[in-house]
Structure 1
Amino acid sequence: PKLPFGGVGASGMGRYHGKYSFDTFTHEKSYIFKSTRLESGVHLPPYKGKFKCIKAFFKN
């Protein structure tokens, strides 16, 4: 198994570098990426009446 390297004094040299240290000293945070393009709302419910718009778009 892979274990994080660490220790006390000289044997702990470099123990604050690497994935385990990063995971220890950071906190996960979720975020939502919002697009900067204009949204038409066609993909959101209620769908009634929106199909006419889609049909007209593809008909031309």
Structure 2
Amino acid sequence: MVSDSDQGCPKCGHTETEVDDIATSGTGLSKLFDVQNRRFRVVSCANCGYSELYRGDSSNNMIDLFLG
């Protein structure tokens, strides 16, 4: 069980992550014309697959937020 003082995945406590980038379309005309103008960084637990989405491009800060 993961306590508040432990670091790691919020679900399983594992400390290894995988980082990917995704792009999505918004609403309205960008969706109609399939313009992928919204970018996110996905930080996932390498053990259980739990994932969080973050706006922006700085992966180091996002991994720190994910692991606590």
Smaller-chain TM-score bracket: under 0.3
TM-score of the aligned structures, taking structure 2 as reference length:
0.20
Give me the TM-score of the superposition, normalised by structure 1.
Answer: 0.21
**More contact order relative to length (CA 8 Å, sep ≥ 6):** 2
Judging by fraction of residues, say which structure has more strand. 2
